[in-house]
């Protein structure tokens, strides 16, 4: 039997998601350990590019200026490693001087521990800043991979070795700079690192993920502690640009009291601002904050400050003894301290809280409830109900042809019930983003366009099924073709739409887990479909042989049908259980956002 069109189309979709060699966009995380590009050729032996630094000594928290220069090149990859163990993971964190030419990557567990290109545009010089971690080894060496052309590249070009004071002076590496420059100035430190031990006791804390350690490179942390007539505030998170929190009377951005810690030129500026609508924040000319401290190290931006509970002289500053929704956001900042829109949805508390009231230790969500419901309903509809409904209609007509439910064949009633459920769930889910946004979203890319197409096809499919001709009507074959093609198109587009929607800011499921899990589901569905097609083909061939031999034909046909019925029911049970497992995985991921 011919492979169904749906299986072929979805299989093509999987192929499009397969990784390809080369990284013109600089996303080279796969090369974090070896630093070798996947270009299918051997690296060059004699490097033509050099790495230079502006200092030879460092202390934890210091910033070192790193330069990569040489003949024109397209791509690069820079790391710092333990000079005594060059095969060890990358250490420390980088900051960018030019975000158009370079970008930060995370290798291993250390955020921003590597730098790469953003495109294959030709370049001759790159400048970045390396921030020494608190647990840095005595000696650190910079390494770089440089790509001149696709098949012409150098791997792990050795750079200078920088060392902590009193460490043994290493011999100058092969291609280190000979320029003598003064040691960079140390980055300011907070008097003590943030900790969560007082959260829920004397501090009101917000943490994301819940119960995370503020010293962790993946923890967003915000705390409030009342001290007399003022509140001491701590904010920390993995960011190379800025961190900000805002107090709001609702869960929408606008008319809010905001506080920003902005990284600029290895310093952090702490400012207050007022948010008006969805426009960039309006910074205050007068700063009402006291006891400001900050720290930039290990990929973390940390700042603390104090402000009075009441600030009547400062317009736009809310009183801190009232209840508010609390936003926590992060994003990029360019030269001059210009901040850019946050790339991920801000963390928003589920309710209104008084930070000077009863100390609590809470979390929040980066996805609005309506968007979570939208995603959950779509997963239920297009992973569970529609997939099972199609399998039942395609392979269980002969199995349940003599079983009836409410006066109709059982396979048809099950199929119709599941498909109507799919249309109903899709319709409810379809309107939720419009309710949340109050209209069309301009930031969601192709996702809403494809979603509208899927909704239209689902409604058209249901209407067409309502006018289904009788089994022997002349137009029945034409109906069958339109019914199959419309359903197949809707399912393929639904999978593509879900792929796009999983990484939108409003519902940003864990990456790359979400992509791999969706690919696994598509593979699971196609595999079951192919298995049942092969089984049906083999069963037909078996019956044809029996009819040809004309031996005990009735008994043999009954036996073959019984054998096929049992196999299909077992496969269907396994398929339903598998679909439920995938559904639970996606719903659990949505719940954790």
Reading the block at residue 306, the tokens are 């104090």
* pLDDT class of 511 with cuts at 50, 70, 90: confident
Q: What is the pLDDT averaged over residues 119-124?
A: 90
- d(CA 351, CA 296) in angstroms, rounded, equals 31
- Residue 536: partners with Cβ closer than 8 Å, 6 or more residues away: 1, 395, 564
Region of poorest pLDDT, from 222-231, 278-287, 368-377: 278-287
Q: How many CB atoms lie within 10 A of CB 431?
A: 12
* pLDDT class of 544 with cuts at 50, 70, 90: low
Mean pLDDT for the chain overall: 83
Q: How many CB atoms lie within 10 A of CB 91?
A: 21
Q: What is the pLDDT averaged over residues 463-485?
A: 89
Reading the block at residue 7, the tokens are 């299986």
What pairs with residue 245 in β-bridges? 259, 328
Q: How many CB atoms lie within 10 A of CB 547?
A: 12
Region of poorest pLDDT, from 229-238, 336-345, 366-375, 451-460: 336-345
- d(CA 523, CA 411) in angstroms, rounded, equals 25
What pairs with residue 408 in β-bridges? 405
What pairs with residue 230 in β-bridges? 227, 308
pLDDT value at position 185? 32
* pLDDT class of 279 with cuts at 50, 70, 90: confident
pLDDT value at position 218? 85
For residue 43, pLDDT over 80 is answered with: no
How distant is the alpha carbon of residue 579 from its chain centre? 23
pLDDT value at position 9? 44
- d(CA 49, CA 75) in angstroms, rounded, equals 12
* pLDDT class of 359 with cuts at 50, 70, 90: very high
User: What backbone torsions phi and psi does residue 582 show, to the nearest 5 degrees?
Assistant: -60, -40
* pLDDT class of 310 with cuts at 50, 70, 90: very high
Q: pLDDT tens across 126-183, in order?
A: 999 999 998 899 999 999 999 998 888 888 898 999 999 876 544 333 333 333 332 3
Q: pLDDT tens across 383-407, in order?
A: 999 999 999 988 888 777 677 888 7
- Is-above-0.85 flag for pTM? no
pLDDT value at position 437? 80
pLDDT value at position 286? 65
In 3D space, the residue among 510, 520, 536 whose CA is nearest the CA of residue 578 turns out to be 520
How distant is the alpha carbon of residue 160 from its chain centre? 35
- d(CA 222, CA 235) in angstroms, rounded, equals 5
Q: Is 271 exposed, middle or buried (0-12, 13-18, 19+ CB in 10 A)?
A: buried
CA angle (553, 555, 557) in 5-degree steps: 65
User: Could you tell me which residue, 495 or 399, shows the higher pLDDT?
Assistant: 495
549's enclosing H/E stretch is helix 513-549
Q: What is the pLDDT averaged over residues 11-33?
A: 55
- The distance between the two most distant Cα atoms of the chain, rounded to a whole number of Å, is 101
Radius of gyration of the chain (CA): 30
In 3D space, the residue among 72, 126, 123 whose CA is nearest the CA of residue 94 turns out to be 126
Alpha helix stretches (DSSP H) within 259-409: 369-379, 386-395
pLDDT value at position 189? 57
Q: What is the pLDDT averaged over residues 456-483?
A: 90
Q: How many CB atoms lie within 10 A of CB 62?
A: 22
For residue 4, pLDDT over 50 is answered with: no
pLDDT value at position 12? 41
Strand segments (E) across 108-249: 110-117, 123-131, 139-149, 152-163, 204-208, 220-227, 230-238, 242-248
pLDDT value at position 140? 94
């Amino acid at each position: 039997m011919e492979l169904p069109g749906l299986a072929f189309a979805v299989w093509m979709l999987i192929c499009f998601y397969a990784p390809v060699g080369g990284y013109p966009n600089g996303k080279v995380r796969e090369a974090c350990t070896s630093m070798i590009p996947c270009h299918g050729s051997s690296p060059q032996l004699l490097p033509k590019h050099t790495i230079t630094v502006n200092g030879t000594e460092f202390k934890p928290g210091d910033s070192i200026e790193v330069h990569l220069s040489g003949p024109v090149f397209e791509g690069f990859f820079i790391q710092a490693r333990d000079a005594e163990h060059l095969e060890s993971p990358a250490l420390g964190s980088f900051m960018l001087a030019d975000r158009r030419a370079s970008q930060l990557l995370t290798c291993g567990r250390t955020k921003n521990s590597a730098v790469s290109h953003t495109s294959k545009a030709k370049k001759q010089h790159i400048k970045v800043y390396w921030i020494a971690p608190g647990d840095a080894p005595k000696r650190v060496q910079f390494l770089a991979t440089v790509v001149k052309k696709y098949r012409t590249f150098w791997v792990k070009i050795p750079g200078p070795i920088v060392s902590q004071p009193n460490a043994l002076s290493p011999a100058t590496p092969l291609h280190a700079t000979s320029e003598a420059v003064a040691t960079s100035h140390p980055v300011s430190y907070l008097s003590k690192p943030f900790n969560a031990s007082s959260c829920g006791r004397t501090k009101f804390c917000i943490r994301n993920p819940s119960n995370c350690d503020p010293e962790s490179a993946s923890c967003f942390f915000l705390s409030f502690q009342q001290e007399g007539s003022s509140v001491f505030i701590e904010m920390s998170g993995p960011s190379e640009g800025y961190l900000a929190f805002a107090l709001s009377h609702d869960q929408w951005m606008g008319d809010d009291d905001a506080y920003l810690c902005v990284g600029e030129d290895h310093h952090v500026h702490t400012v207050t601002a007022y948010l008006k609508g969805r426009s960039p924040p309006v910074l205050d000319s007068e700063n009402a904050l006291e006891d400001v401290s900050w720290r930039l190290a290990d990929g973390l931006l940390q700042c603390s400050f104090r402000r009075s509970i009441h600030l009547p002289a400062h317009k736009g500053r809310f009183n801190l003894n009232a209840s508010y929704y609390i936003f926590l956001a992060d994003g990029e900042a360019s030269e001059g301290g210009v901040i850019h829109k946050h790339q991920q949805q801000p963390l928003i508390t589920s309710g209104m809280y008084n930070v000077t009231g009863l100390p609590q230790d809470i979390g929040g969500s980066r996805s609005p409830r309506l968007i979570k419901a939208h995603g959950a309903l779509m997963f239920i509809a297009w992973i569970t109900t529609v997939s099972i409904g199609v399998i039942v209609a395609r392979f269980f007509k002969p199995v349940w042809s003599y079983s009836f439910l409410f006066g109709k064949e059982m396979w048809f009633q099950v199929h119709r019930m599941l498909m109507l459920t799919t249309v109903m769930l899709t319709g409810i889910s379809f309107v939720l983003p419009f309710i949340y946004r109050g209209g069309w979203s301009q930031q969601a890319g192709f996702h809403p366009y494809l979603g509208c197409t899927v909704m239209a096809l689902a409604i058209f499919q249901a209407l067409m099924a309502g006018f289904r001709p009788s089994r022997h009507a002349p137009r029945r074959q034409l109906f069958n073709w339109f019914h199959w093609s419309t359903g197949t198109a809707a399912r393929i587009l639904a999978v593509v739409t879900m792929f796009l929607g999983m990484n939108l800011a409003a519902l940003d499921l864990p990456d790359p887990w979400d992509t791999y899990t969706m690919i696994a589901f598509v593979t699971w569905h196609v595999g079951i479909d192919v298995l049942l097609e092969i089984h049906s083909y083999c069963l037909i061939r078996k019956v044809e042989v029996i009819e040809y031999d004309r031996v005990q034909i009735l008994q043999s046909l009954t036996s073959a049908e019984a054998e096929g019925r049992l196999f299909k029911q077992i496969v269907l049970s396994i398929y339903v259980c598998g679909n439920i497992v995938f559904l639970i995985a996606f719903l659990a991921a949505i719940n954790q956002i």
